[in-house]
Amino acid sequence: MNYKLFGRSGLRVSELCLGTMTMGTEWGYGSDAEESQRVFDAFLEAGGNFIDTANRYTEGTSETFLGNMIKASGRKDELVVATKYSLYTQANRINDGGNHRKNMMQSVEGSLRRLQLDTIDLLYLHIWDFTTREEEILRGLDDLVRSGKVHYIAISDTPAWLVSRMQTIAELRGWEAFAGIQAEYSLITRDAERDLIPMANHLGLAVTAWAPLAGGALTGKYLTENSDPKRIKEGSKRINEKSTAIAREVVQIANELNCSASHVALQWMMQQHQQVFPVIGARNATQLRDSMACINVKLTADQILRLNTVSAIEYGFPHEFLKSDTVQQVLHGGFQNQIINHRKP
């Protein structure tokens, strides 16, 4: 496996990130401790070092399993462990949840105990709550970095305008700035291409992509009449007419390359975006090994074009307006095709 720098930082992380939301069975699916250990071992054996979890995953069991496995591995210093705060650890407690400073600090302390670590390598704000001031969050995150309890910070599931505003505030005040963002991103869900990914590229932020296989829809397993999408709700866009057409194209290209559909779906984003890291989860080591084999596959330009075409989305205003021929003509006086623009998204 290859390694990349994470955003503008010097942190070296594997090109694939291990998602651990399926470590633990509290949510009615997932892996017990023994199978989670096999998944963890398979990831490390392949050269992976980037691991994603959260305080809330499987009621804290994900972090607990990871803490035990990391300690037993003796490889703590090699691994990059990312966790998140915002969601509650215990329900029905008014300040156990949210983006505010109190929950931030108590959540980090709980994660450190469960992970059996002195420092969290990468801490994400998990989900924007629309109740906490940006300055309160940024100052709290900066304090955590200065205290040595966190190395780097990032933000997940938050509108692009808020991320960019917060990044500007942090830079102007000399506080710790974000190294990356996390967002849902796949061939079936390309919404992040409207604002989040262009913003990340402009600001030098890494992007960790959750659900890169769209809950398994891009593996092709829901294309048969007898398929049972257990984890996909009825009416989900992951199994509608357009998504089915996307999955069929993915399977067709996989047949051409003699690989699995998951390899095609993962390589599509990795070849187009150098700073996008797919977060791959698995219920067992066999599934994980299959997903990780995507690094051995290479899509042709024509295959990427086919995938882009079948999965195309409308970018809406102002994006469609700005790239229209009329606007480009009046902006550049007819020279738009002669200007070499390295800033073009």
SS3 annotation, 285-336:
HHHHHHHHHHHHCCCCHHHHHHHHHHCCCCCCCCHHHHCCHHHHHHHHCCCC
Q: What is the pLDDT of residues 60-74, one digit of tens each?
A: 999 999 999 999 999
Contact 17, 269 (CB under 8 A): no
Asked whether residue 319 is assigned to any structural domain, the reply reads: no
Number of domains in the chain: 1
Report if residue 263 sits inside a domain. Answer: yes
Look at residue 284 and tell me if it is in a domain. Answer: yes
Please state the pTM of the whole predicted model.
0.94
- What is the set of active-site residues? 57
Q: Summarize pLDDT for 138-185 with one digit per residue, the tens.
A: 999 999 999 999 999 999 999 999 999 999 999 999 999 999 999 999
Q: In which band, very low, low, confident or very high, does the pLDDT at 345 lie, cut at 50, 70 and 90?
A: low
What residues form DSSP beta bridges with 276?
207
334 within some domain: no
User: How much is the average pLDDT of 14-31?
Assistant: 96
| Helix axes of 61-73 and 101-115: crossing angle, nearest 10 degrees | 40
Average pLDDT, the chain: 95
pLDDT tier for residue 36 given thresholds of 50, 70 and 90: very high
Domain that includes residue 97, residue range: 3-313
* Contact yes or no for 19/279 (Cβ under 8 A): yes
Asked if the structure places residue 194 within a domain, the reply is: yes
Q: Is residue 333 part of a domain?
A: no
> Domain of 77: which CATH number?
3.20.20.100
pLDDT tens digits, 280-323: 999 999 999 999 999 999 999 999 999 999 999 999 999 999 99
How do residues 91-122 score in pLDDT, each as one tens digit?
Answer: 999 999 999 999 999 999 999 999 999 999 99
Q: Within a domain: residue 195?
A: yes
Q: Is the pLDDT of residue 228 over 80?
A: no
CA distance 20 to 108: 18
Q: How many CB atoms lie within 10 A of CB 27?
A: 12
What band does 229 get if pLDDT is binned at 50, 70 and 90?
low
- Span 204-216, average pLDDT: 96
Long-range contacts, stretch 8-13, CB < 8 angstroms, 24+ apart: 8/179, 8/204, 8/205, 9/152, 9/179, 11/80, 11/121, 11/122, 11/151, 11/152, 11/179, 12/49, 12/80, 13/49, 13/50, 13/80, 13/277
221 lies in a domain?
Answer: yes
